[in-house]
A = this chain, B = another copy of it.
Amino acid sequence: MSIENPFYTPEFHGEYDLVSIGRLDLEDGGSIPDCVLAVATFGTLNESKDNAVLVSTWYSGTHQIWRDAYIGSEHALNPDRYFIVVVDQIGSGLSTSPHNASGANAGITMSAFPHVRIGDDVVAQERLLREHFGIESLALVTGGSMGAQQTYEWAVRFPDKVRRAAPIAGTAQNTDHDFLFTRTLIEAITSDSGFAGGEYTSNDQVQHGLERHARIWGVMGFSTEFWKLRVYAGLGFEDMDAFLAGFLQPYFTAMDPNDLLCMAWKWQRGDVARHTGGDLAAALGRITAKTFVLPISEDMFFPVRDHTAEQALIKNSELRVVDDVLGHLGLFSVNPEFMPQIDRHLQELLDTPA
C-alpha cells in the first residue's frame, strides 16, 4: 500500500503539474501501468516550437532546485527566451515512485516497484514532450548528476531531437567506483531494521538508515577541502555536526527510502553503451548535439578526468570545468561563484548555432 509523505507536496516543491503518459513498459521488464510525470514549466513555447529546453533531475533532487537557483530572467535558462520543461525523474517522489504508487499502480507499490533505468525516464520524457507539448526538437537538454546521465541518454538515443546538450557533473557510463559508492548508500538504508524489506509504513521508521546515508553523502558529496575550509561556517553552521544535523540529515531523512533506492539502482546502471553492445565510443559517436561537458573541479565521484575521457569521444563537444570547492554537491548552488560559471557556459552553448 502506498504511503503518505508530506515532503512530496507543493509545500516543499512549489507548483508543478502531474501528467500521465499512460503505460510505460520498462527495459528491465515489468511496466508502470499509469506513469505520471511531475513537470514544472517556465516560459512559453514559441510557435515554431523550437525554443524548448529540457531539464532532468538528479538523485534526491526535483525541479524545485532548478526553479530556485538555475532558472530565471537573470540566468542562461531564461524563461523570457525559452520554454523550460523540468521533468522529475521516476522515483523522485513526485513522479510515479514506489511510495506513491496507488490506483492503477497499486500493484507496484513500495517493495513491488519494478527496476527503472535511465532509458525508461528518457523514453517517458520524450513521450511527454511529443504527446503533451508537441515538442519534437530541443534547443538544449541539461541536468546534473543523474540529470547528466539522462542528458547523455537523450543525446545518444534521440540524436535528431537534441540540438545542444550540457551534462553537468555526471557521466554517460557510470563507473565501477560510482556503483560501489551508490551501493554503500543503498546499504545504509536497507541495513536499518526499520526498513523491513521495503515495507515500512513511514519513512520515520528508517531514520537511522537515512541518517547514515546522509553522512556517507557527507564524505563523498563535498570535497576534502570543503571540510578543511569550513565552508559550512559561511552558511551559518558552527561545526561539522551542526552542518550535518542542520542540512544533510534533515534533507535526506524527509525522503522516502524506497524512492531513494529506486533512483540509486537506476544511477548505478546508467550507460549509453547499452545501445551499442557495450561500445562507449560508438554510443557517444552517435551524438550530433553541440555538447558542453561540465564537470565540477572538486567532484569526488564524478571526477573531472572521467568527464574528459568521455568528452574526447563526442564529436562536437567541449570540456568546461566548473570550479567549486563544494565538489559534487556544488550542484546545490550554495557557492555564489557556481551559477555565474554555469550561466556563462550554458549561455555560450545556447548562443552557438545548432
A contacts, CB < 8 Å to B: 175-177, 179-181, 183-184, 187-188, 191-193, 208-209, 212, 215-216, 218-220, 222, 224-228, 230, 240, 244, 300-301, 303, 305-306
Among candidates B209, B215, B301, residue contacting A180 with C-beta atoms closer than 8 Å? B215
> Interface on chain A toward B: helix, strand, loop, or mixed SS?
helix
Q: Count this chain's copies in the assembly.
A: 2
Are the CB atoms of B227 and A215 closer together than 8 Å?
no
Instruction: Check A212/B187 contact, CB under 8 A, given A179-B240, A300-B300.
Output: yes
Among candidates B187, B224, B226, B230, residue contacting A215 with C-beta atoms closer than 8 Å? B187
Minimum CB distance partner of A226 in chain B? B177
Are the CB atoms of A219 and B184 closer together than 8 Å?
yes
Interfacial chain B residues near A306, Cβ < 8 Å = 224, 228
Among candidates B180, B215, B227, B305, residue contacting A176 with C-beta atoms closer than 8 Å? B227
- Docked Cα-Cα span, A263 to B228, in Å, equals 23
Are the CB atoms of A224 and B183 closer together than 8 Å?
no
- Docked Cα-Cα span, A184 to B213, in Å, equals 9
Are the CB atoms of A227 and B184 closer together than 8 Å?
no
Among candidates B216, B220, B227, B301, residue contacting A175 with C-beta atoms closer than 8 Å? B227
A190 to chain B, nearest CB (A): 10
- Docked Cα-Cα span, A249 to B327, in Å, equals 29
Most buried by B among A175, A177, A209, A305: A177
